[in-house]
Structure 1
Amino acid sequence: MNSVAAGADSSGFSAARRSIVTARRVVVKIGSSALTSLPGGLDTARLDRLVDAVEARMRAGSDVVVVSSGAVGSGLAPLGLTSRPRDLATKQAAASVGQLTLAHAWGTSFARYQRTVGQVLLSAGDFSRREHHRNAQRTLDRLRLLGAVAVVNENDTVATEEIRFGDNDRLAALVAHLVGADALVLLSDVSGLYDGDPRKGSANFIPEVRSSADLDGVIAGSGGTLGTGGMASKLSAARLAADAGVPVLLAAADSAAAALTDGEVGTAFAARPVRLSARKFWVRHAADSRGAVLLDAGAVQAVACRRRSLLAAGITGVRGRFYGGDVVDLVSPDNRVIARGVVEYDNTELSGMLGRSTVELPDTMQRPVIHADDLVKV
């Protein structure tokens, strides 16, 4: 590990790294580049080494959920493809072939330790819909109670470009919150966070991210040959998990053993002191926005600065078609999304309430448009 970070204990170990090393429940995300290659496809030797590292962590007393990329990459060689396809139909075809290969490989590798594997395929819609969200949570919890290792992947065969997670980085962060994880470990082909592209020789390594100030000047790139996420996706996922109260370690897959034991590799992201409630986390990060409510300057101040409920008097317009109970964006006069919330009325009802004070409205419409408890700043 680099020089002693602010907030470190007397041994030089930061609080974030300490919490990752001692975490009781851990989500480990493994990127495509750590499992597959062109043109060889799935590399079972690499996968075995990763399973060895995960097994060691479980034997040390942690529950581990694996989030695995690599379905598309695993399907290329069997289909005779020499590069990652660009069109959605071919990607989904490769995923349908590769998913079987990948699941079998995980099961075979964990079987060396007499462990049973359960595959869980999720799509973005499974997080945006509360009932699907709860079902996924129950499945993962039951697999753990039955002693099986859950291996989660995006359901690539049905996902569209518009609703993809992004190389499973965001999926891993959402799963970490879903299962109440104490830590998230992101393993890929990068050794940690740099303020630029380390392949160009002038980038500086960042060992700790304690706040957004530590990210000033950081330039994050897009995905590589086999993956779709890149550093931008990993950075976004790390910040999302940290926002949920989950510390994150970003490290190279080749350093998986160290990442899952002593934690003295990669970049550690400190978690926010107070974890968002499950409902507010869902509103901010997981739910699909069904429309927008346009606010005047006074309503922006009330919602964003004073954390008040949103009333009809401060609304200037609506966009989209939505219903009571849907999540909507709250938009400032300069067209910025400043918050999200669960709306009480549908768009047609709200259109007739614009700019009216509560006393001017019928008794059935005197509830706040969005209650403060259902509002989250973004």
Structure 2
Amino acid sequence: MSDARTAIAAAGRIVVKVGSSALTTAGDGLDVARLDRLVDAIASRVATGSQIVLVSSGAIGAGLAPLALGARPRDLATQQAAASVGQLALAHAYAESFGRHALTVGQVLLTSDDMVRRAHYRNAQRTFSRLLALGAVPVVNENDTVATEEIRFGDNDRLAALAAHLVGADALVLLSDVDALYDGDPRDGATRRIAEVTGQSDVDGISVGMSSSGLGTGGMVSKLAAARTAAGSGIPVLLAAAADAARALGPADVGTAFAAAPARLSARRFWLGHAAGTAGRLRLDEGAVTAVMGRRRSLLAAGITGVDGEFHAGDVVDLADPAGTVVARGVVAFDSAELPALIGLSSHEVPAEQRREVVHADDLVPLH
């Protein structure tokens, strides 16, 4: 068994994500039998001493039947209406199902704003920590009832990856209607199942499409992105079918395992790289890119060639190479109005009162 699978099988704290298509059926709403099987698998793992955080899609899907909606609505207002009805049904179903195992659930509804704002991020950490300490199973979903296009996660796969780091998980398990990662459409008999992903080269050239279930917003694209985000920050990931939940949360001998990077990012550096919203962009010359990416040095004014957007000291900004590709993020030490006068100046040319790093190395996270 690979190191990743061994780590997942032994994990003390796990984030489990389940997709809409694994819990709901178009036209029929929530499938309680499938939900019960998932809960049974989670309860079995909890019984071994592990802590589980469940990121569950399905609120909108669960609200379709009660509102006599034949398919997932396209407009935001109707999606929010379906979520407001479906979230109650979903929460009630989980409470009833976990109750069969004498387990208490706590509902946690998040918007991406709760990840982007550092204070909200810390508050969410405290809430999860207390729920787990009290023996509850947190059930997490995007707050679809109030989320708008500007503040949506886009899919719960990304939310699960962010939550895994936020709660200090030892593993992330992504469950859906697909049993593994394939190098093409799994419905094509010629495609190859990929059992292990140990690095970028294992997924280079893979063609993955979007979900066709009509119930979820994500597909293999979002799952692969989420797996890479979590694994790259030091958390092993297992991608498997919801029908295989018992084995995924047991010996972890199903699906595709993603090996974790050797070192785990600190909570602050992970937030900077993956959760924080950016207020602007600094364009860098080749020398600055090499210093920032290759030598992990601070960004100085001499290496900046341009400033985009309006921001204030303390905001998070993107750092882009000469081709315009964002290569890093960091906390900027100057307002956007101050920087144009400093562009290209060497340290001794910068006025004494402004003689400091534009982005300090401790507040900078390379993205590649």
TM superposition score normalised by structure 2 = 0.98
Amino acid at match of 1:369: V
Shift of residue 364, structure 1, vs aligned partner: 2.1
Give the match for residue 26 of structure 1. Answer: 14
Counterpart contact for 1:63–1:144, Cα < 8 Å: yes
After TM superposition, give the deviation of residue 376 of structure 1 in Å: 1.3
Q: Distance in 2 between matches of 1:296 and 1:116?
A: 54
Equivalent residue for 2:124? Answer: 136
Which residue, 349, 357, 375 being the options, matches 2:338? 349
Give the partner amino acid of 2:224: L
Is 1:59 aligned to residue 47 of structure 2?
yes
Aligned to 1:223: 211
Runs of 4+ in 1 over 4 A off after TM superposition: none
In the alignment, structure 2 segments of 5+ residues that lack a partner are: none
| Cα displacement (A) at 1:167 | 2.8
The SS at the match of 1:184 is strand
**Contact 1:166/1:233, CA 8 A, preserved across alignment:** no
Q: Quick one: which of 42, 47, 58 aligns to 2:30? A: 42
- Cα contact 1:341–1:375 (8 A) shared by 2: yes
1:81 maps to which residue? 69
Match of 1:373, SS state, is helix
Task: Deviation per CA, 1:33-70: give whole Å up to 9, x if none.
Answer: 11101110001111111000000000011011100000
Q: What secondary structure sits across from 2:206 in the alignment?
A: coil
- More displaced, 25-34 or 291-300? 291-300
Shift in Å, 1:166: 3.2
Contact 1:123 1:155 survives alignment (8 Å): yes
Matches within 5 A, 1:175-194: 175-194=163-182
User: Aligned ranges for residues 105-120 of structure 1 at < 5 Å?
Assistant: 105-120=93-108
Percent same amino acid at aligned positions? Answer: 65
CA contact (8 A) 1:115 1:148 kept: yes
Deviation of 1:163 (Å):
3.4
1:375 CA displacement: 1.3
Instruction: Please say if 1:334 is aligned against 2:323.
Output: yes
User: Which AA in structure 1 matches 2:179?
Assistant: S
Count the aligned residue pairs: 366
The one-letter code matched in structure 1 to 2:271 is W
Matches within 5 A, 1:163-242: 163-224=151-212, 225-242=214-231
Equivalent-residue separation in structure 1 for 2:336 and 2:182 (angstroms): 45
Match for residue 308 of structure 1 among 280, 291, 297: 297
Of 260, 270, 274, 1:281 maps to 270
Counterpart amino acid of 2:115? F
In structure 1, the residue matched to 2:111 is 123
Paired residues of 1:31 and 1:167 also in contact (CA < 8 A): no
Alpha-carbon RMSD across the aligned residues, in angstroms, is: 1.0
Note the alpha carbon deviations across 1:167-205, whole angstroms, 9 max, x for none. 300100111101110001001000010000111222110
| Structure 1 counterpart of 2:245, from 232, 252, 256 | 256
Q: CA deviation at 1:165?
A: 2.1
Aligned-residue offset at 1:17 = 0.3
The separation in 2 between residues aligned to 1:15 and 1:338, in whole angstroms, is 30
Which moved further from structure 2: 353-362 or 167-176?
353-362
- In 2, distance between residues paired with 1:301 and 1:16? 32
Question: How high is the TM-score relative to the length of structure 1?
Answer: 0.95
- Matched residues in 1 for 2:236 and 2:286: separation? 36
Q: Which segment drifts farther, 228-237 or 155-164? A: 155-164
Residue 290 (structure 1) aligned to one of 279, 299, 302:
279
Moved more, 299-308 or 201-210: 299-308
SS in 2 for 1:199: coil
Task: Decide which moves more: 238-247 or 219-228.
Answer: 219-228
Give deviations 1:126-183, integer Å, cap 9, x for gaps.
1111100001010011111111110000011122234322330010011110111000
Counterpart position of 1:8: none
Secondary structure at 2:317 match in 1: strand
Distance 2:250 2:99 in 1: 22
SS of alignment partner, residue 344 of structure 2: coil
Residue aligning to 1:365: 354
Shift of 1:206: 0.2
Q: What amino acid is aligned across from residue 276 of structure 1 in structure 2?
A: L
Counterpart AA for 1:55:
A
